[in-house]
Chain A
């Protein structure tokens, strides 16, 4: 039993923490969020130079060979700075799918480019009707000689506006809700028949709806086995949920620290508002919520690393806790800041909005609680 980080892991965490502190203040972030692409190419290049884009990839592809602990540390620090750059979309989802796919040619072609920062990626999985069901896929891929033809629509694609290449889930057989028959394809963003419509989210992220009108890709664009896409998607999404949990934990730490600080300095009735017991107990609750989230996150990371059978249930539990603790923590942070908490100028609201979008991503608390119940009460 050991909850210590290795020296390498501590160095990674410190380097991200220092960077976020020195080069990613709230004004920098605001400028990036307001820009058309919603990310900074210069920041991304620095991430590449610092080696962060290589963290989860195997050494054979030029990666750092890191595991869930390394990703956790990185994402937690990104959370503290509300980093907008598409680490989740490009490295963890696009890169994660390629790395696990067994499609060696594609991995060898794309992963080095991801690592050096010259390729932006996205995973286009969501459809307007699909909500949290990853298996609810209507987009179709039809075999046509040596190629496939893709038609359909993907929505709220993270980094969809900036991606050079996308991995798209499409149905090669079966019915709308079947888990079997879903295949993944690597589609260049400039493919004929692919159209991108971009819009912004409240957390500063720029996302896109993508329509595919008879887009032709070669058979070699298949990521993983035909019809077996879900077996590839599930573990990648599980890892992504844990990474989002780490990002959320970083945000919660900031919200709690800033709120605690505020209640010590804001005076009403001649005293610091933190001296009111009614507020003290609420801050004790948010402190405990943070600790509970951290514990489930560590539990999930360890089980993932160890390949434990219990990992899927633990990851559902983590996502439930992230939402429960997150809503409590951002709710109290806004409330205890009074009018100040309601302004766009203060960073509190921006942390809250990112937590809200994390809750919605890959299934909210209710959804994961339902899945957890299925596993535990069946």
Chain B
């Protein structure tokens, strides 16, 4: 057991730092913060990462991965978060790509993977339906084979960023007999196909990232099917486990905690800094202690994966603890913002308003409620641990 960095690791860290400093410039940050330029700015940033060769640390080398060691991945993540840099949009790079390079055919790999690497296509995830959330396998969107095309009818919901998407990867029902998991097919669908309609959903943070996606007689070539018909559930499950290893968000939480600590040193109540208030301190350190432990839990899981083990139900632990910690940090920041925690965006400058971070705290706290719901709710994760780890 040894967790010290080698000289090569330190050199790598310095290289990452220098790149972030140079490439994640102020102009880009301003464009990311502006709703009207958000999508283009994300794509620009991801293209810069692509040109640097760092866009897909978790992909196998042969498809464009970096071949980094777990330590290097850890360093990269830590530096990304410490620089306040948003993670890449996961749907293409982290969700559908592993399915394509694991289960897709050569034609699909050649057609989709390079475009995902270069962020030429924006992807979204079409799994959930109005009637099928936690019980995803009960999904009803139907695909019926007609010649060499599927005809798709139904609706998906909670589809993040569907309004920007060029492609959607979907689970659809191709067979209603037998076990519900055994009649599901994995399709890649062009969002420009006739018969697709995207309806916006405004979320609790007053933003629009969620959508409902309707399919009316949408024709999808059989060539866009991953693997075999009726076997889509197997492919999707492999992908869900993948989604969960990155969901702990340790590096971002560390940065979030430091931000709160910094802000608490500025906030005064009756002449006393909040950072010197015993109740506030206890809440801060309670979170930090959990986070210190989680950081090593994550490293233990990553080490298992690196030595050939599969990320099993442990990834559920990462998801539950990681999201609980994220929400606790967001909540602490709201409490810190006090009267200003409710401020909606307005025309006043921070100086006129009298506060710096109230609106930002509100937005991340409100949207942050979703983290215990999506990616398999925390209740469902607990069911998985109870069954798969504890044998209950």
Contact = CB atoms under 8 A, between A and B. Distances in A.
B204 A209 contact: no
B277 A366 contact: yes
A42 B91 CA distance: 49
A278 interface: yes
Task: Among B128, B131, B342, B373, find the residue whose CB has the most chain A CB atoms closer than 10 A.
Answer: B342
Contacts of A349: 204, 366
- Nearest first, the 3 A-B pairs at minimum CB distance are A128-B354, A201-B342, A133-B270
B343 interface: yes
Interface stretch (A9-17, A242-250, A334-342): A334-342
Interface in B253-287: 267-271, 277, 279-280, 283
Given A135-B270, A199-B353, A279-B379, A334 B338 contact: no
Interface string B325-358: 0000001001101111111101010001111000
Interface of A: 126, 128-129, 131-133, 135-136, 153, 155-156, 176-177, 197, 199-203, 205, 209, 267-270, 273, 276, 278-279, 327, 331, 334-335, 338-339, 341-345, 349, 352-353, 356-357, 359-361, 364, 366-367, 369-370
B158 interface: yes
A133 B334 CA distance: 18
Given A269-B138, A339-B158, 19 more contacts: A131-B270, A153-B354, A201-B344, A202-B344, A202-B362, A202-B366, A268-B132, A334-B369, A335-B372, A339-B133, A339-B157, A342-B204, A352-B204, A353-B366, A357-B341, A366-B279, A369-B279, A370-B277, A370-B279
A200 B346 contact: yes
B373 A335 contact: yes
B339 A361 contact: yes
Nearest to B374: A339
B135 A268 contact: yes
A364 B268 contact: no
A136 B204 CA distance: 34
B33 interface: no
20 contacts: A131-B338, A197-B352, A199-B353, A200-B344, A202-B343, A209-B348, A209-B353, A269-B134, A276-B379, A334-B204, A335-B378, A338-B133, A341-B369, A341-B373, A344-B206, A349-B204, A357-B341, A357-B342, A360-B337, A364-B338
B88 interface: no
A360 B279 contact: no
Nearest to B372: A335
Interface in B276-321: 277, 279-280, 283
Nearest to A369: B279
Contact of B382 (A197, A203, A278, A357): A278
Contacts of A177: 270-271
A339 B206 CA distance: 15
A156 B352 CA distance: 12
Nearest to A200: B344
A157 to B, nearest CB: 10
Nearest to B373: A338
B201 interface: yes
A177 B272 CA distance: 11
B370 interface: yes
Contacts of B270: 131-133, 135-136, 177
A199 B346 contact: yes
B203 interface: yes
A342 B369 contact: yes
B3 to A, nearest CB: 35
Contacts of B269: 131-133, 367
Nearest to B386: A278
Interface string B196-215: 00000111101000100000
A123 to B, nearest CB: 13
B273 to A, nearest CB: 11
A366 B342 contact: no
Nearest to B132: A268
Contacts of A360: 335, 337-339, 341-342
B224 interface: no
Interface string B135-179: 100100000000000000000011000000000000000000000
B338 A132 contact: yes
A341 B283 CA distance: 27
A269 B135 contact: yes
A302 B64 CA distance: 71
Contacts of B364: none
A147 to B, nearest CB: 28
B7 to A, nearest CB: 46
A209 B352 contact: yes
Contacts of B338: 131-132, 360, 364
Contacts of A335: 369, 372-373, 377-378
A128 to B, nearest CB: 3
Contacts of A136: 270-271
B370 A342 contact: yes
Given A344-B204, A356-B334, A126 B339 contact: yes
A197 B343 CA distance: 13
A338 B134 contact: yes
A344 B379 CA distance: 23
Given A356-B334, A366-B335, A345 B341 contact: no
Given A278-B382, A364-B338, A155 B344 contact: no
Nearest to A211: B352
Contacts of B131: 267
B352 A338 contact: no
Contacts of A199: 343-344, 346, 348, 353
A349 B202 CA distance: 12
Nearest to A354: B342
A339 B212 CA distance: 12
A160 to B, nearest CB: 12
Contacts of B133: 268, 338-339
A46 B208 CA distance: 36
B186 to A, nearest CB: 22
Nearest to B379: A278
A376 to B, nearest CB: 14
Contacts of B344: 199-202
Contacts of A269: 134-135, 138
A270 B138 CA distance: 9
Nearest to A133: B270
A356 B370 contact: no
A155 B343 CA distance: 12
Most buried by A among B135, B267, B271, B354: B354
Interface string B3-24: 0000000000000000000000
Contact of A156 (B138, B283, B334, B339): B339
Nearest to A346: B204
A120 to B, nearest CB: 20
